[in-house]
Amino acid sequence: ASAMREIFLETPKVYWSDIGGQEDVKRKLRETVEWPLSHPDTFKRLGIAAPRGILLYGPPGCSKTLTAKALATEAGLNFLAVKGPEIFNKYVGESERAIREIFRKARNASPSIIFFDEIDAISAARGHAEVGGDRVLTSMLTEMDGIESMGNVIVLAATNRPEIIDTALLRPGRIDRMLYVGPPDLEARKKILEVRFKNMSIADDVVIDNLADKTDGCSGAEMTALCQEAGLQAMNEDIESVSIAARHFEVALAGLNRSITPEMIK
């Protein structure tokens, strides 16, 4: 069994407009990733380097994955997604091979993005010889250092635990930019609901401003779950239900989970 079976080239269909809020994150990513591709001559003229790696960090469910996909879609980049824990394989040498293979695929598909979700898994495995933890980190560093010569491959890494990422990975020329992707504020929560409601049947008595207000502290993922739950409530009431009303949201709100804790917020 090979770890590589799980790594596919994707063509995401996620647009900036699918993401509520996060305007700063969107703008910074556009600058750092799209400019080098669209204006390579200016970079050369000014003598500045294009970024190779960016770390997206912040609480779970707040659109890190969504953002990486939108960047790929909007900038016309091929997209390879890998989850840190997937890299580890009990067979000797297999996980380093996995890292090499990912970068090789990305190079062949360039311009491309490698999205490393849960990159902290690589750091957490350090010193764990049984899973080849140190060797995986070393191959990761080697591949990052080789990006310059391969051109047009960008590493986007994501984590909820930026404090445990190896400083070696964050050195200049590697994953040297950090972007905080935080929980949605009031305005962003309105946008998230608007985005969701586009594909839902919502009754006239549902007031977005109220819902946005009552979901303070929720992640985007939790807001999506709320909409889902409200829909099920409507069906509970009437299995042939045609729309979701305010009372259904009220029930869903009462059972809403809020998993973001203060220490996750910058």
For the sheet containing 153-159, what is the strand order?
Answer: 9-10, 78-83, 112-117, 153-159, 53-57, 175-180
In angstroms, give the least distance from the CB of 107 to ligand ATP.
Answer: 25
Q: Specify the stretch interacting with ligand ATP by CB under 6 A; choose among 5-13, 64-72, 85-93, 251-259.
A: 64-72
Instruction: Report the residue from 32, 110, 138, 160 that binds ligand ATP according to the rule CB under 6 A.
Output: 160
User: From CA 101, how far away is CA 112, in angstroms rounded?
Assistant: 14
Residue whose CB is less far from ligand ATP, 30 or 100: 30
β pairing state of 153-159 and 175-180: unpaired
Alpha-carbon distances of 266 from 44, 121, 159, rounded to whole Å:
35, 21, 13
Helix (H) or strand (E) holding 234: helix 220-237
DSSP 33: I
262's CB contacts (< 8 A; 6+ apart) are none
In angstroms, give the least distance from the CB of 120 to ligand ATP.
Answer: 11
Q: Specify the stretch interacting with ligand ATP by CB under 6 A; choose among 32-40, 62-70, 98-106, 141-149.
A: 62-70
User: What residues from 26 to 55 belong to the interface with ligand ATP (CB under 6 A)?
Assistant: none
Q: Is 79 in contact with 10 (CB distance < 8 Å)?
A: yes
In angstroms, give the least distance from the CB of 221 to ligand ATP.
Answer: 4
198 binds ligand ATP (CB under 6 A): no
* Tokens coding 82: 């890998």
19 binds ligand ATP (CB under 6 A): yes
In angstroms, give the least distance from the CB of 245 to ligand ATP.
Answer: 22
Instruction: Report the residue from 33, 63, 84, 252 that binds ligand ATP according to the rule CB under 6 A.
Output: 63
Q: Which residues bind ligand ATP (CB under 6 A)?
A: 19-22, 60-66, 117, 158, 160, 184, 192, 195, 220-221, 224
